[in-house]
Structure 1
């Protein structure tokens, strides 16, 4: 067989050659902007050429601080297209963490949306290795800034070569990108992706029993492009010739609903909090979302009530699971052919699980006594390996904690049923250990969020003098609804053993979240300590 290296640049070249009329649709401050793949190809080549002119060499890191739009997409291909490494920076991290990862990755150039100039200006003295700042703006000139040297993105493109040739003869295992974890504790950890891993991951996204992404789709990645490369969707969509809808900055549920309706979106991807917000909008106003063939939901477990609500509206809801360390696609919840005859409730039970492995990835689940049984009840830590799974953290001693004997120990506690469907029951650090038994905070959360009056719920462990730990639930009530503790306990009792029930239910205005929308349980535990101190 031919030993042809897998390379990100060839993915864009396919879109240029076969789908030059297909569009990338960006919501910008000035309105909707449309570019064909022919235009995106030329602009990307110009950017690649301009970066070379600025002195970017093979292996250099180029950071981006940007929303989901066409310029960010161009950077996705231009940077690895010259053998450099795309570093998508999580704009929701603290300034301290942003400075840390810029230095840790050793970024030489930063591409910055105008919105984030103040962030970088405030830490400019802490990032001495950055040699150039490129501002992505819709204005004709660079806004006033203390950064130097600074360049205007569009003006820089004009100086680049329209027919610049991408570098394609590099080792397919060469680094193409780096993302950092959102770091709920400690410093963020870097994960380096290779050209080979990105191409194979993109191929997996196109499998019919996976995300099923194809040329016929209109895909809207709501998940930020700084979060695990928007789950790899921009790479795969360009390769397949999929129409892309980029929601841009400061979107609202109303904006998302309008984009989905007007642009006839067929696939959208985001975290549960995004879809909870959209559902509230759909309950207020009517939108024609008949084009939507599936919603991909990942980042956290989605409650059954959310899944049911979308499916009752005729919008298929597909659970997915992955991590920064896994590129991220690992598991999707698709019904098997012989499960199609099951009742609605039985199907919902399956869809509420994260699903089974996509082809190309292997797993094992390690419990207290070794490999767990596939019986849907025994719990253990999920371990993974595969061609798009990381083998270590970038220059980080913490690698030995998570990577052992060729496996990634995910830190996620799961059960596996007899069909191989994985269900995330907790993080190893969040699982509640009560009287020697494990209680799943996720199961309790999903049960609470199935109540018609509950908008969000998070469950955490609090110390207990007799039982070691006990669960406490924090609940956000839906706007315009009311519910009492007793009503919630009555709702939970038929579903759980008595010792699983929370010792306390606390009503709160909001639940703290991480930069990517997950419940921030470390902060919630701190708030609860203060709550119990003040109420006792």
Structure 2
């Protein structure tokens, strides 16, 4: 019986779906396209280069840059010989990146044009580690690289969490877990991908492996389009149309901005037929607009870096009263940890997860991953994630979602963005931080915010309202609430406790 190895995905695509393509768009807008057959040849040449440099199974290379064809070539080269690729996020803090590099001690530090100067600066922390531009692919000298034999439980790659709640967590994946996750993503009731699809994740490879897109696309023969991080919804729309995208991977923040842009501009899609949405829960009315007005099927997923990331998924149904996070795909088991630390298949508490592609802490022997999410598991394992544990609120005995509060706040004229910060879970004290649009009367907007939120949430409203210039975001468009709390604490000296409660 054959073992499961990630590099066999590209080998399969090169043989069976040779004409399907991978396209990458650079930060400067340059577009490059290769077939899977061409990418496999480039990966072969890079593998010969890695071997010549003395890198062997279980050695490490660091890939420090944005998603691209060149990054894919080096990734699959490393995979073919058991070398572990560490995806470093250029948007993480410099001190975190330096610490990770010193821990990894890589055999090579790969960088792109955007990270070249930073890589030079970090090189002093790892003396002797060769630097190499990802564009410098191996020539191969016409030789075919013979894949190294190694066990399927060998590490394939490493990602670092987004750092939304503090210091990014280090998450390791194996060849076996990555292939099984790719298979699960491709299932009809999951992402439902096939060889006719053109897939564009708005997440980078360093963000939970771009939700598995570099692996599931070659598995089914779907074409893959890799784009740089960009915060302009007009640019996202342009890419979708230019590259004839059929499936879009995006977080809720992406879609909130894209819907606002398309409504204002009166635009529609010509090819997009499905979106897989992660992150905080999409407001029901926004999901309904995407599906019924834009003609795009909404598949709302839940997961995290530690779950590879797909764990549950739900297709939007307007006949239901609310949009939840769906049911676990095969290979994932969920529970909630209620009072007393007992895990239950139904109820409300901290969400626990385990499965074939779920990483769990090396500090304890439990197979369960404590996710840090406050959630309800309904009948038939249907998941409803309410909030992060440190951001959870109970109003009149009912769990209150900060995402829904923030959505209602953004609907108030004059509010560009909003974030609810829970400053003390026990007392329920909270701060609504919001960004004002240009030339608005912040005092009158604050009054309207208080009235609308009180009406919408049965008398509940935040303890305090604070206007800030901008929010700190992660590369995956999440507000870094721990940094926002720190920022507000420095600006305002009052009786509201603003000390961040990090889960890391």
- Residue 187 of structure 1 and its aligned partner are, at CA, apart by 4.3
CA contact (8 A) 1:434 1:468 kept: no
Q: Which residue of 2 aligns with 1:505?
A: 465
CA distance in 1, matches of 2:495, 2:370: 39
Q: Which runs of 5+ in 2 are unaligned?
A: 497-504
CA distance in 2, matches of 1:32, 1:72: 15
Report the 3-state secondary structure (helix = DSSP H, G, I; strand = E; otherwise coil) of the residue aligned with 1:107. coil
Q: Which residue of 1 aligns with 2:361?
A: 392
Residue correspondence of structure 1 range 8-87 to structure 2 within 5 A? 8-28=6-26, 29=28, 31-87=30-86
Q: Which residue of 2 aligns with 1:495?
A: 456
- Residue 371 of structure 1 and its aligned partner are, at CA, apart by 4.5
CA distance in 1, matches of 2:167, 2:411: 35
In structure 2, the CA distance between the partners of 1:471 and 1:380, relative to structure 1 (3 Å rule), is: same
In structure 2, the CA distance between the partners of 1:14 and 1:534, relative to structure 1 (3 Å rule), is: same
In structure 2, the CA distance between the partners of 1:493 and 1:283, relative to structure 1 (3 Å rule), is: same
In structure 2, the CA distance between the partners of 1:235 and 1:193, relative to structure 1 (3 Å rule), is: same
In structure 2, the CA distance between the partners of 1:328 and 1:481, relative to structure 1 (3 Å rule), is: farther
For residue 198 of structure 2, the aligned residue among 206, 213, 218 is 218
For residue 434 of structure 2, the aligned residue among 447, 461, 475 is 475
CA distance in 2, matches of 1:162, 1:278: 47
CA contact (8 A) 1:385 1:407 kept: yes
Residue correspondence of structure 1 range 328-339 to structure 2 within 5 A? 328-334=309-315
- Residue 494 of structure 1 and its aligned partner are, at CA, apart by 4.0
CA contact (8 A) 2:204 2:229 kept: no
What TM-score results when the alignment is normalised by the length of structure 2? 0.89
Report the 3-state secondary structure (helix = DSSP H, G, I; strand = E; otherwise coil) of the residue aligned with 2:373. strand
CA distance in 1, matches of 2:334, 2:226: 33
For residue 188 of structure 1, the aligned residue among 162, 168, 177 is 168
For residue 327 of structure 1, the aligned residue among 276, 292, 308 is 308
For residue 313 of structure 1, the aligned residue among 288, 294, 304 is 294
Residue correspondence of structure 1 range 148-159 to structure 2 within 5 A? 153-154=136-137, 157-159=138-140
CA contact (8 A) 1:356 1:420 kept: yes
CA distance in 1, matches of 2:85, 2:427: 45
Residue correspondence of structure 1 range 27-426 to structure 2 within 5 A? 27-28=25-26, 29=28, 31-128=30-127, 130=129, 132-137=130-135, 153-154=136-137, 157-159=138-140, 161=142, 163-167=144-148, 169-184=149-164, 187-248=167-228, 250=230, 252-285=232-265, 287-311=267-291, 312-334=293-315, 343=319, 346=320, 349-350=322-323, 353-369=324-340, 370-371=342-343, 374=346, 379-393=348-362, 399-400=363-364, 405-426=366-387
CA distance in 1, matches of 2:121, 2:230: 22
Deviations 1:169-204 (A, max 9, x none): 421111111112233566433211110000000001
CA contact (8 A) 2:202 2:229 kept: no
CA contact (8 A) 1:68 1:224 kept: yes
C-alpha RMSD of matched pairs (Å): 2.8
CA distance in 2, matches of 1:494, 1:501: 9
Q: Which residue of 2 aligns with 1:144?
A: none
Deviations 1:289-334 (A, max 9, x none): 1311112221333334542442332222322111111111101122
CA distance in 2, matches of 1:420, 1:475: 35
CA contact (8 A) 1:462 1:472 kept: yes
In structure 2, the CA distance between the partners of 1:491 and 1:419, relative to structure 1 (3 Å rule), is: farther
CA distance in 1, matches of 2:274, 2:178: 23
- Residue 117 of structure 1 and its aligned partner are, at CA, apart by 1.2
Report the 3-state secondary structure (helix = DSSP H, G, I; strand = E; otherwise coil) of the residue aligned with 2:310. coil
Deviations 1:116-159 (A, max 9, x none): 011122222112262x211134xxxxxxxxxxxxxxx14xx224
Is 2:460 aligned against 1:461? no
CA contact (8 A) 1:45 1:166 kept: no
Q: Which residue of 2 aligns with 1:396?
A: none
Paired residue total: 491
CA distance in 1, matches of 2:254, 2:274: 15
Q: Select between 361-370 and 508-517 the one with higher mean Cα deviation.
A: 508-517
CA contact (8 A) 2:325 2:385 kept: yes
CA distance in 1, matches of 2:197, 2:445: 44
Report the 3-state secondary structure (helix = DSSP H, G, I; strand = E; otherwise coil) of the residue aligned with 1:229. helix
Report the 3-state secondary structure (helix = DSSP H, G, I; strand = E; otherwise coil) of the residue aligned with 2:315. coil
Q: Which residue of 2 aligns with 1:445?
A: 406
CA distance in 1, matches of 2:147, 2:417: 47
Q: Which runs of 5+ in 1 are unaligned?
A: 138-152, 394-398
- Residue 115 of structure 1 and its aligned partner are, at CA, apart by 1.2
